[in-house]
A and B are shown apart, each in its own frame.
Chain A
């Protein structure tokens, strides 16, 4: 296995059986893929496509019916691999009777961390996921979004090299979702490898370098997001503001070269950007209405 391969699966197959050992569902069929060091890898697919099964096979929560899994150079059932792994499950299955500090302290203890390191990391992570105000509240009092945040914090308590995220933005509001995506990018910048599975395609597109699309337990597509999404039959140019005359001139130039101008428009931001800006502005200037600079409703314009 090459040094830069963090996860390698070969013909990974999982068949769920019933009580009598009869085959019930083929959840994953001969999956072979590599995840490289430092990349953000997305596992995509509709419900029941085998994304979560793959993740659980990687973590040793399930045993493969056939095939092999190597993760950080070790077999999936080897618990020592977990020293360098962080895992955020689909739902944050944490102990609801603990508070945020106790939760992180507990998971820190499982890594045999000294008390001062646990304290320091817990403090930083609680700040990082924005739960300072609720650090002493039991998790059973948390909203779904807060639970996801503390779930993420526990996944990062050991400063892992490989982070496995199952539906990381599920249950988060747009701000939380954006924070999560920013965090994933930041983790990548720090040289970490991130594997996430999601069916929120926009999220995956925003952060993933490579993706695999699964359907019915089978690998359908594997490759770089930028390459997979590239439409080779269309060229897009972005310029500063142009006058109508210039646009017409460009169009005639294109016609002369046998091309056709398909669309001329002002690019729009997306709703997520608008929402995030609005909420952040509102937090910065409480009591005042936020009016985006380009809005036609701006009375000052």
Chain B
């Protein structure tokens, strides 16, 4: 089982640049709007007031007292605790008391059984904690303002950002405490459920993969690496999927899929063994031997030395993990095409680069593959490692939702804050990727695919003319005008989608449930970036909302 998406390392510099662009844009728009509004409302001194507020904001933030923030944190924690928020533990306990009845034995495959357990636990934790912290965070401050208990706080030397931060830290602490406790219960439950047989116990690992560098490259069936336009082939054959994730290579031809592994040295091998793991998809044009999988062959290549080492072919076991230990499967030793012996470490891995070519050997059959379908497997880590990294990621999501809730509670009442935050969470979790795909035309799981018909006017032309969204419109002035308008509207959509945090980033269930270690650069770093990237502007919004509103306004 491989991942159903392409894990790519987060580019921190590019992310930071994008964040700065969006922040600057938003601040510019807000600044101009406020200046105009102040000119209308107050007159010439209006812009000076806006500047004064910005200056006061800086001074206030510099004067933040950690002790006061901590006092408000403890207050918030105590409040939630005494309002019996922790009853959520009870709900969780009940779920786990009975979950085993329904979940054990759903399949005889330990891999799938493990996946079912882990997915259940991590999703349950997420969906149990999120509503609790969302409600707490959204109602905390509005309730404090309604009951006027905040009056006794802000009439002390407490700055508004200290109130916001105290609430955020307090609710986050509650959320993280609940997460820690239910997380440990969940872990014990999984380990107990998976401890029944040795085969099940063997699933309790966190595989550490090394994926190919960037894209998988392809050779067509004549062995060419470029298409008729002279562009490098980054996709094989499409067997009919509308939005293809996997590309196919035809059997018994010169078609190949090529993985280039970089920064990989022999000392990272598992006790000197080079282990590949694959999960290719089969596409049959005729039944053949239906009980037998397709035949596949890997070839190790050192491009610089021009050494090619074909490995022993293997039968693809579909819907299973295909582990290929190079040493074990090639016990006579590695030899190149001329039959000369080849040393794995010295001849193939000496410069940290390894090229692997995959061929399908079954005639008239096709093997489908995407980048995560083949990887070098490093020594496994403990299951606890990936499980608790998943919990860490959920923790970051909890913090983000708390910050969203507290901020919205700074300027609207509890019910509206709840609706607003829930809307942002739902869009951020379910629709943001779609918005991004529509706005940019880039299909996330297939960089080669560029969506064409995206704009409103473009679609209005395509629907009556039955034109596929994968094909460009005819090159005439009407279509050019349409695209001009659509580009503007898509730019607005792009800007709007930036406002929603990508909560899908926090979901690492697929890694852990498929017994993969949760990678830092591909998963945890983007989660951290989303959390920090949204918390900073949201805290500022919360601060100014609370500072500029009259707490006693009728």
On A, residues with C-beta under 8 Å from B are: 16, 24-25, 56, 59-63, 79-80, 82-83, 85, 87, 89, 91, 93-95, 97-98, 102, 106-107, 109-112, 138, 151, 154, 158
Contact = CB atoms under 8 A, between A and B. Distances in A.
Contacts of A93: 147-149, 151-152
B550 interface: yes
A111 B157 contact: yes
Pick from B78, B158, B551, B552 the residue with the most CB of A within 10 Å: B552
Nearest to B152: A93
B79 interface: yes
A91 B75 CA distance: 20
B155 A106 contact: no
For the complex of A and B, list the 10 residue pairs with the smallest distance between their C-beta atoms, beginning with the closest: A109-B71, A93-B148, A110-B156, A97-B82, A87-B155, A82-B157, A61-B552, A93-B149, A83-B157, A16-B554
23 contacts: A60-B154, A62-B553, A79-B154, A79-B157, A85-B155, A87-B151, A91-B148, A93-B147, A94-B152, A98-B75, A98-B78, A106-B71, A106-B74, A106-B75, A107-B156, A109-B68, A110-B156, A110-B157, A112-B65, A112-B67, A112-B68, A154-B152, A158-B156
A210 to B, nearest CB: 23
Given A62-B550, A62-B553, A110 B149 contact: no
Given A89-B152, A93-B151, A110 B158 contact: yes
B83 interface: yes
Contacts of A59: 151, 155
Nearest to B66: A112
Nearest to B70: A109
Given A89-B148, A93-B147, A82 B550 contact: no
A63 B68 CA distance: 24
Given A82-B157, A110-B157, A87 B152 contact: yes
A61 B155 contact: yes
Pick from B78, B83, B147, B156 the residue with the most CB of A within 10 Å: B156
Pick from B74, B79, B151, B155 the residue with the most CB of A within 10 Å: B155
A82 B154 CA distance: 9
B550 A61 contact: yes
Given A62-B550, A63-B550, A111 B148 contact: no
Interface residues of B, number: 28
Contacts of A106: 71, 74-75
Contacts of A89: 148, 151-152
Given A63-B550, A95-B75, A102-B78, 17 more contacts: A59-B155, A60-B155, A61-B550, A61-B551, A61-B552, A62-B552, A87-B152, A91-B148, A94-B152, A95-B149, A97-B83, A107-B156, A110-B68, A110-B71, A110-B153, A110-B158, A138-B82
Pick from A95, A107, A151 the residue with the most CB of B within 10 Å: A95
Given A97-B78, A97-B79, A111 B156 contact: yes
B48 to A, nearest CB: 15
Contact of A80 (B83, B157, B551, B554): B157
B256 interface: no
Nearest to B550: A62
A103 to B, nearest CB: 9
A191 to B, nearest CB: 21
Interface string B380-421: 000000000000000000000000000000000000000000
A80 B65 CA distance: 12
A86 to B, nearest CB: 9
B159 interface: yes
Contacts of B70: 109
Contacts of B148: 89, 91, 93
Nearest to A113: B67
A61 B75 CA distance: 21
B552 A24 contact: no
A129 to B, nearest CB: 16
Contacts of B147: 93
Nearest to A151: B152
Interface in B37-83: 65, 67-68, 70-71, 74-75, 78-79, 82-83
Contacts of B151: 59, 61, 87, 89, 93
Contacts of B152: 87, 89, 93-94, 107, 151, 154
Pick from A24, A59, A158 the residue with the most CB of B within 10 Å: A59
B76 to A, nearest CB: 10
Pick from B83, B151, B551 the residue with the most CB of A within 10 Å: B151
Nearest to B41: A21
Contacts of B156: 82, 107, 110-111, 158
Contacts of A151: 152
A290 to B, nearest CB: 39
Contacts of B79: 95, 97
Contacts of B554: 16, 24-25
Nearest to B71: A109
A95 B158 CA distance: 16
Contacts of B71: 106, 109-110
A154 B151 CA distance: 12
A12 B71 CA distance: 35
B158 to A, nearest CB: 5
Contacts of A112: 65, 67-68
B67 to A, nearest CB: 5
